[in-house]
Structure 1
Amino acid sequence: MKFSVSAVAACAALLPSVSGTIFYAGVAESSGEFGVWSATATPGTGLPGRFGVDYSFISNSGIDTMVDKNKVNLFRVAFLLERMAPLSYGLGAKFNETHYNYYKQSIDYITKTKGAYAILDPHNYMRYNDPSSQPFSGSVIGNTTDKTAATTAQFGAFWGELAKRFASNEKVIFGLMNEPHDVPSSLYLANLQAAVDAIRKSGAKNLIIAPGNSWSGGHAWTQGGNEATGNWLHKLVDPLNNTAVDIHEYLDKDFSGGHIACEQDPVTNLAGVTAWLKEHKLKAFVTEFGGSNTTACATMLNSMLDYMSQNEEYIGWTAWAAGPFWGTASPCCTDSAQYGSFEPGSKAAGGGPSLYDTVWLPVIQKKVPAKLQWSGLATINGGALTSKPSHY
């Protein structure tokens, strides 16, 4: 993402003023990271796991509804590094091919059968080797003081292999890592750079999205002194200049997405990162956000979605979360109450309406643009905006 600011400014001076445009909009698919939690923090729990029993990636029928009825064109699909690159191999270019093929089938269904775009999401918090107590367990990738940690080079090798396998699919977007946290920012940046370098060396031209440190929180982008994401991420170099920023922003008191009450105004809290994006001429996705089914949350979600659509720095979003294995449990914003998820057809405990019924349809669905990008390579500049093609 490093480039000549003077050249960009010169080009910008020749262009008319533009308003914001959302090219990609949809939902995060969370279930591929399931099945490894251990109440006793026992390493190795649930690995490799049974596909379709302990974890899954998508429900084809759920994707059908989201694309055909809800007209979304983007899905962020979670997986675990420890399943794709098992501990017996170590992180790197050697994959569990059975697991990879399950994942590829899901990505192909989204991108080739339904014509939408898919973000590959290693849901690992910049850690590898023990997801039993995510988001805190596991060794920080690249930590040279931890003999059990995967190296920065291994992280690059992993992304080089994954990118090579998806390079021919222009609708695949590479999300480098979910929510790095408690990682020195110099190491965080080195890991991201290794991944970008390996991706481009593989020949892949696909759009990359690079996360912030500190859980990718937009509100925290310029906080933390020298360690703040805003002091580091703009230094990431992509020779193709096709890398966007990956931001998360929840609306509850501690920005965790765990509580019913929405108390943090997203428009106010995104102001700092938006100014940073403008300063460095960067584009962004908000790949996690959400709220409960309260009036206050509906108001804030509306404001947030309008804010993204009105600021050209934001080109895409995925709400948290759908997924075939949530059942009546909720991925966001319920103080652990079981209100279901954004998965179409899901129900709350007792058979009541789910968050799909009470938050997605009445609030978020209304903000899905009528026209999105449905063809061509995903890029930071977007592509032609159309209604969903009838042939999908």
Structure 2
Amino acid sequence: MFSRLFAITSVLAASAAWAKILYAGVNESGGEFSVWSNTKTVGTGLPGRFGTDYAFINKSTVDIFVDNEKANFFRVTFLMERMCPVATGLGSTFNDTYFGFYEDAINYITKTKGAYALIDPHNYMRYNDPSQQPTTGSIIGDTTDPKAATTAQFGEFWAELARRFVDNEKVVFGINNEPHDMLTSLVFANNQAAITGIRSVGAKQLILAPGNGYTGGHSFTQLTGAGNWAPSSDYMFKLHDPANNYAIDIHEYLDIDFSGGHAECAQPAPSNLAALTTWLKKHSLKAMITEFSGGDNQNCYNYIDELLTYMEQNKEYIGWTAWAAGPIWGNNSPCCGPDTGSLEPGALNALGQPSAYSTVWATAMRPHIPTTLKWSGISTTK
């Protein structure tokens, strides 16, 4: 009787843990490609050729993740300099051709497949020169830089983007990818301008707000960068959302320097995220880890399992997206050593062997996809 009761209790406990994760899936990287240049030539690769220089998704890949993997979430990257051409500046004037390609990808994910899509301006909170991301471009809102887009323009950009998706309840608005090396107060101000802009057009969907320091979870409560800028935790709880529907956007790689550039994992997520989790609890906030991964080895499989288990055990975390799939990675590796490969189904790594979809995803991530993911209704934190 005891063993049977224990088994039932364990199943119920596991079900409760799974139920805390609303979203699980993968990054779709490609819309920001083909701008990196050693010459730092502003506009290199802009606007670029769709399907050659950049692309957003393979629809067959979305099919596999939704139909076979039962994943419900895709983070789809784009480049603000393509969406808002440098010639006209950041704001409400869009390149409608580029937007049309992007909208088609988002609609396929959300309307055709019924999953959720995270809108991701992949710009490090910078604009006007993506030629050597993440370091080039003017920091948005930097009043000491005459070339910088203003915080108000950033708000206008987000109001226009949200207006175009206002009726799509399955989108999530990600304010910007990995702000870094800037005043944390400015990250806060830009985040607030984005939230205000999004809500001003009547959009009610979930918003993900990043912190400073590449929005690393391990450093969220610490001074960050060469300038010892204030911790993100000093500011982000002050964000005001009239819809009360925002969460914190977190990235957490598991290698020695948290970069995702190494094949071996060395950073234990439970201890590294503990301070962030305490902060989330204190302020009754939620978080989502929208970038993480690991190399193709048992060591990293163990660390990834530990990370995802930790999220399942702490109700402050509502979901995750692994880095990264995408239509034009080829045999390149977006993360975790040169031979890991991408999460694109059917791709090979640099050695001509199965890539991370067949190895890292299958071994370490697939077992953590809940059967109780959210599949209906507007994107929310609950």
Task: With the length of structure 2 as denominator, give the TM-score of the two structures.
Answer: 0.93
Tell me what 1:6 maps to: none
| Aligned partner of residue 335 in structure 2, secondary structure | coil
**Greater CA deviation, 150-159 or 219-228?**
219-228
CA distance 1:279–1:20, shift in 2 (3 Å): farther
The alignment yields a C-alpha RMSD, in angstroms, of 1.3
Tell me what 1:3 maps to: none
Residue identity matched to 1:236: L
| Aligned partner of residue 75 in structure 1, secondary structure | strand
For 1:307, which of 301, 307, 310 is the aligned residue?
A: 310
| 8 Å CA contact retained: 1:127, 1:139 | yes
Tell me what 2:282 maps to: 279
Residue identity matched to 2:55: S
Tell me what 2:321 maps to: 318
Give identity over the alignment, percent: 58
What pairs with 1:110-189 in structure 2 (closer than 5 Å)?
A: 110-189=109-188
Tell me what 1:95 maps to: 94
Residue identity matched to 1:110: I
Query: How far, CA to CA, are the matches of 1:40 and 1:338 in structure 2?
Result: 28
Tell me what 1:349 maps to: 350
Residue 349 of structure 1: how far off its partner (Å)? 2.4
Runs of at least 5 residues in structure 2 that lack an aligned partner in the other structure? 1-15
Tell me what 1:11 maps to: none
Residue 44 of structure 1: how far off its partner (Å)? 1.2
Residue 296 of structure 1: how far off its partner (Å)? 1.1
1:227 aligns with 2:230: yes
Query: How far, CA to CA, are the matches of 2:142 and 2:74 in structure 1?
Result: 31
Query: How far, CA to CA, are the matches of 1:114 and 1:294 in structure 2?
Result: 32
Residue identity matched to 1:373: K
| 8 Å CA contact retained: 1:20, 1:314 | no
| Aligned partner of residue 218 in structure 2, secondary structure | helix
Tell me what 2:217 maps to: 218
Residue identity matched to 2:236: L
| Aligned partner of residue 286 in structure 1, secondary structure | strand
Query: How far, CA to CA, are the matches of 1:374 and 1:280 in structure 2?
Result: 27
Residue identity matched to 2:185: S
1:19-76 per-residue CA deviation (whole Å, 9 max, x = no partner) reads 8600110001111110101022222110010010100000001111011001100000
1:375 aligns with 2:376: yes
Tell me what 1:194 maps to: 193
Residue 18 of structure 1: how far off its partner (Å)? 8.6
| 8 Å CA contact retained: 2:296, 2:340 | no
What pairs with 1:13-24 in structure 2 (closer than 5 Å)?
A: 21-24=20-23
Residue identity matched to 1:356: Y
| 8 Å CA contact retained: 1:206, 1:379 | yes
| 8 Å CA contact retained: 1:121, 1:178 | yes
Tell me what 2:245 maps to: 242
Tell me what 2:6 maps to: none
| 8 Å CA contact retained: 2:341, 2:349 | yes
CA distance 1:200–1:345, shift in 2 (3 Å): same
| 8 Å CA contact retained: 1:339, 1:347 | no
Residue 292 of structure 1: how far off its partner (Å)? 0.4
| 8 Å CA contact retained: 1:111, 1:117 | yes
| Aligned partner of residue 221 in structure 2, secondary structure | coil
| Aligned partner of residue 77 in structure 1, secondary structure | strand
Query: How far, CA to CA, are the matches of 2:84 and 2:244 in structure 1?
Result: 28
| 8 Å CA contact retained: 1:117, 1:172 | yes
Residue 346 of structure 1: how far off its partner (Å)? 0.7
Query: How far, CA to CA, are the matches of 1:62 and 1:76 in structure 2?
Result: 13
Tell me what 1:366 maps to: 367
**Greater CA deviation, 369-378 or 117-126?**
369-378
For 2:270, which of 267, 271, 276 is the aligned residue?
A: 267
Query: How far, CA to CA, are the matches of 2:135 and 2:325 in structure 1?
Result: 23
| 8 Å CA contact retained: 2:118, 2:173 | yes
Tell me what 1:61 maps to: 60
Query: How far, CA to CA, are the matches of 2:381 and 2:341 in structure 1?
Result: 33
Tell me what 1:7 maps to: none
1:74-110 per-residue CA deviation (whole Å, 9 max, x = no partner) reads 0000000000000111000010000000000000000
Residue identity matched to 1:347: L
Tell me what 2:10 maps to: none
| 8 Å CA contact retained: 1:19, 1:311 | no
Query: How far, CA to CA, are the matches of 2:152 and 2:356 in structure 1?
Result: 41
Residue identity matched to 2:106: I
| Aligned partner of residue 372 in structure 1, secondary structure | coil
Query: How far, CA to CA, are the matches of 1:341 and 1:265 in structure 2?
Result: 23
1:29 aligns with 2:28: yes
For 2:299, which of 296, 302, 306 is the aligned residue?
A: 296
Tell me what 1:38 maps to: 37
CA distance 1:171–1:19, shift in 2 (3 Å): closer
1:144-202 per-residue CA deviation (whole Å, 9 max, x = no partner) reads 11111000010000000000110100000000000000110111111111111111111
**Greater CA deviation, 222-231 or 96-105?**
222-231
| 8 Å CA contact retained: 1:19, 1:312 | no
| Aligned partner of residue 30 in structure 2, secondary structure | coil
Query: How far, CA to CA, are the matches of 2:126 and 2:376 in structure 1?
Result: 34
| Aligned partner of residue 119 in structure 1, secondary structure | strand
| Aligned partner of residue 362 in structure 1, secondary structure | helix
Tell me what 2:108 maps to: 109
